Every structure is written in structure tokens, then in C-alpha cells.
Structure 1
């Protein structure tokens, strides 16, 4: 049995135990401590922290998330870190409300209720959980690839208002281990194990700033969840949603977005088409990449909370724009799909 060590987190004064054979982030989840995290694959830096005392070693990670100089200085990614002594770790990013008040992570059995293509490369997967699965709008879960110990992470598009159904919007990638099964391998009625919820891409109680959502591809899912939640609680916050796609054929769920927007304050939906404007009748469309359109139309981004979800290049470009627009980091929330292997 692996040795266990005590981890002390500063400046929040929280302690926990971790086995040498488990990652520090996983140990925190197991004990009901919800540390900041994103991809959980060592690629996004959301869980980056600083080791004040103790011995920690990391599994393979991306140097874009934590470069060699940072590692030499004592920075670690908690999703890839193992402790080999008692440690004191300084959290660089944390939400005090979430730390000990997040939704417990658990595994539930689900059955497939529907598999439906919504564009040429995005599929709606609807699951019926065998027991209630609690999550916050904007969060994601792991779906286990049948017959393996591997999983893939996908955001929920629904909210708790439909407890008997969870919807995921999944982009199909060539050779994708999970997404490939959506064409051949998974059928209505099949069982899937689901673990979660994960992620901090959630609306914060009591906030009043306008909401700007920037999405692309399957990043539509968590944004739909946020919009549905805002609608359900009767929010009065102004909401603007910019969705990037190549052509009008890549747009979907437009009727659902219109219906949600009809009950939201000052709602605007803008489809940002990078390749062709043809066939985009009846909706507000602008030419260009989504970040280019946002830059043109949002001169006061720093007065908004910004929610991003989509492919890494889109999210990276948006983060660069937000930094140049002086948007405070505590007003920016994002999920980033880490690689095509995520499919």
C-alpha cells in the first residue's frame, strides 16, 4: 500500500491526505475539496500552484501549461502532481465559495436515450441517469469508453431542470476513441458510466455584470447550459452570445437559442462565420473569426463577465483579446478542449 502524506494548502488553511499513487487534484476531489481545474490533462494551467515545502513529482505534462523555468522555481500542475512527503502548497487560483462547497464528484450509470447528428461533425448524445446526477450549469463530466478504463470529458448542455436527461454535444474527430463510437458502436439503450461534475465554468451567485459568451464547435454545450440557467432563474443580466463557425451549415440549435433569448435581458446572438456568409438568412451574422467580431462589437469588454468555450486556438485568441482589453482575470471563465484525442 502506498505511503500517504499530508498536504496543507495556503492561503486558505485547508489540509488533506494524499497517497503517493494518486494525483493531488484527484485526492482533493475524493475528500470534497474543489480546487480550481480545467482540462485535468496537464495542458491548461488552471490548477497551477506553487510548492512552498515538500517533495512533489509530476507525470507528463505540457510545457505550455507549466514551462521548465516555472518548474525549476517550484510551480506544479496539481492534476499531474504526486506528493512524496508532507507538503505545503500555495494555491494561485481558488474560489473560496467552491473550495468546500462544490458538488460532490461521483460515478453514476446512465443509458443512452438518443444519438442525433446536429451538424456534419457534431452529435447530440442524450443520457438517462439511473439516479440523480447533481451539477452546476457549465460543468462537465467524464464518460467512460465502454470496455476500457479510458474516459473522455464533455460538457453538459442541460440543467437540473431535466434531471432524467443529460445532453452532451460531441464533436467527431477522425480516429476519435469515443466519438467514433457514435457512428458505429453505441446504440440507444446501451449503458455508459459517467463521473463528475468537474469544472469551474459556472455562473457565480450575486454577480450583476453583463454576460458575454464566446463559443465555437461543441463549446456550444456549456454555454447553452448557462443560458438555460439564466432563463430559469429569471436573470436580469444583459447577455450577448458570439458563436464562431466556418459556414452557416455549421450552425445548430438556432431555434432553441432564440427561445431562450426571448426571455433574457438585452439578449443578442451573433453567428461569426469565417469562411462563407451564404445561407445565413434570418439570423444576425458577421464575417470573420469570432474574436475579431467580438473585438469590433465589444469596446467595453472589461465591464463584462466573459465565458469562453471551444477549440484551443479560439480560446487562446480570445484570452489574448481579453488581456489586451484589460478584462480582470476574475471576470473570465473558460473551458478549453485540449486535443483531438479528446474525442
Structure 2
């Protein structure tokens, strides 16, 4: 499994980047604090570059053009970005530094599409919640089709098994917009399963279980996509949706999949095994609570991966 830590590549100034002058003036700030397995330490909301300085970053910064905009929910826009640079690649679960001309803050957003989509169509997708954070605000108020931005891939939080690696089960645990990198991983798993069926070789994927918690059913992103994957791969891909502040009646078609209340200890404990990897992304208190719970269950820390989103 390609989960080993990667030496620090970046320091604290923008001048080291081989970018156009307009991008060199940008100050780094974003929404995420990413880490691998191991001990977590709380940290103040500091600059994005400071928070992610020890994370892997590709050297290449690629121009990209917005080629699709849809409303994933009332508060989340889903962007489709065409990337022309053939050297631009990413692993399922990673994020991008998001450079916007004339916006003096750089965003950090997890990719929610699969690496396969980039390979086949030259595009990737982001799902961005509306906040006052300048890059997110720009996406919701000024971004249009054909808007031009620049992207650079980073992050140590990913699932990238190689053909000779041992098969594993995955448990993905998402809180709110923390679904983004986990949805990318889920789509990547689906690609492995399709290849198993059509080619019969390569990495042998076992099962994946997604636990996804949000305030209400309107904030459960990618619902229809996830249902489609569950129907395509019954028994291989399963999902349990949780809502914590549902005020309206849950629609009849969603009721079989929805649990009101938080993800329980009992639900998670039944997945504990030596062949299971755990990926968690969401608010820091949720991650800290679940990581501690898994360790109490005896899950080795090198089988627990997490990414915090502030």
C-alpha cells in the first residue's frame, strides 16, 4: 500500500513555486489540515501552507478551465474542471491547491472524482461548500463556465493499491463535506471492481463500507451516485447514511438507507479485522473521537488514515 510518509517538499513562502507572476503574489490560506495515521494534535486555524507543509505536493501547477457547474445541494456547488497538462495526475483522496486569478487567497479542496475520470476524459471534479472563505465565495458567486484557474495536487491521504498488494476491506467514515475525498476513493474502488470483472487481473478489491453523516438528507452529497454504485456492486459496496439534525420527514425512497443519529460504536466494531483499512474525513472532533474508538477496539494506528477539515 502506498501510504508511507513523504519528505517535506515545501517551505513557507510562495517564491519557490514555478508559477506565473500573478500567482506568485497569492497568499496561502485554505480549509484543511491533513495528516496521516498516528497521533493527532489540535492546531489553530493557521495558514494552509503551514498546515500542509509536511504533506506531499506535486511540482507541476496546471492551468484548468471550468467546464461544468451544478448544484450538488443548496450550499454545495460541484465543479468540473478540464485539465490540459498531461503530467497532471492525482491519487484517490488527494486535494488540490486552487489558484484563482485576482483572488489573493489560495483554496485547498479535496477532489471528489476518480483518477480514472482524469485519465479517460482529462477532467476532475470538486464539490465546494459556500463559506466566506474567499476561494469558496468566488466559486459560489463569480465562477462561470470557462473561468480559468490553476491547480496543484497535494496530500498524503489516499488509497492507491498496486497489483501485487494484498487485498483489503475498506471502511470509509465521512462527516459533512468530508465525503469528498472518500467519494473519490469509493469511485476508485468501483473502477477496480469493474476491471476485475472485465479483465480478471490487477488488484483484487474486497469490500467497502461507507458511513456518511450529515445534518440532514439535503446535505448528503452524491446520494444518487452512491445508490448507483451500491446497485452496480451489491455486497461489495454498501452504505449507511446518518442524519443528526433532520427536521422534515425523510422521503420514502431514502428511508431504508437513513438512520437518525450519529454513527454508533456497535456499527463500527463489527468491521474490525486484520484485513481492514479505515479512512476518516470530517470535523476534527469527529475524527478524534472515532480514531480513539478504533484504537480502543485494537485497530493498529497504521490501519487508520484521516484528514481533518476545519
111-120 vs 276-285, greater mean Cα deviation: 276-285
Deviations 1:95-143 (A, max 9, x none): xxxxxxx884310000111222211212111111122321111111110
Q: Name the counterpart of 1:268.
A: 238
Q: Name the counterpart of 2:218.
A: 249
Q: Name the counterpart of 2:308.
A: 336
- Bigger relative contact order, structure 1 or 2, given CA contacts below 8 A and separation 6+? 2
Q: How do 1:128-167 residues align onto structure 2 when only pairs under 5 Å count? A: 128-132=82-86, 133-163=88-118, 164-167=122-125
Deviations 1:265-287 (A, max 9, x none): 43221111112272243231112
Q: Name the counterpart of 1:320.
A: 292
Q: Pick from 240, 244, 250: which aligns with 1:279?
A: 250
1:223 is the counterpart of 2:182:
yes
Query: Quick one: structure 1 residues 103 and 331, their matched pair in 2 at CA, closer, same or farther if it must change by over 3 Å?
Result: same
The DSSP-based 3-state class of the residue aligned with 2:242 is: strand
User: Unaligned regions of 5+ residues in structure 1, if any?
Assistant: 1-11, 28-38, 50-61, 67-76, 82-93, 95-101
Q: How do 1:169-208 residues align onto structure 2 when only pairs under 5 Å count? A: 169-173=127-131, 175-205=132-162, 206-208=165-167
Using the TM superposition, give the Cα deviation of residue 209 of structure 1 relative to its aligned residue in structure 2, in angstroms: 2.8
Aligned residue pairs total 266
Query: Quick one: structure 1 residues 280 and 326, their matched pair in 2 at CA, closer, same or farther if it must change by over 3 Å?
Result: farther
Q: Name the counterpart of 1:5.
A: none
Using the TM superposition, give the Cα deviation of residue 63 of structure 1 relative to its aligned residue in structure 2, in angstroms: 7.0
Structure 2 distance, partners of 1:274, 1:224, is 20
Query: Quick one: structure 1 residues 119 and 146, their matched pair in 2 at CA, closer, same or farther if it must change by over 3 Å?
Result: same
Q: Is the 8 A contact 1:237 1:265 kept in 2?
A: no
Q: Is the 8 A contact 2:103 2:134 kept in 1?
A: no
- Rg larger for: 1
More strand by percentage:
1
Query: Quick one: structure 1 residues 171 and 249, their matched pair in 2 at CA, closer, same or farther if it must change by over 3 Å?
Result: same
Question: TM-score scaled to structure 2, two decimals?
Answer: 0.74
Question: TM-score scaled to structure 1, two decimals?
Answer: 0.67
Coordinate RMSD, CA, aligned: 3.6
248-257 vs 272-281, greater mean Cα deviation: 272-281
Q: Is the 8 A contact 1:48 1:78 kept in 2?
A: no
The DSSP-based 3-state class of the residue aligned with 1:269 is: strand
More helix by percentage:
2
1:309 is the counterpart of 2:309:
no
User: After the TM superposition, which segments of 4 or more aligned residues of structure 1 sit over 3 Å from their partners?
Assistant: 39-49, 77-81, 102-105
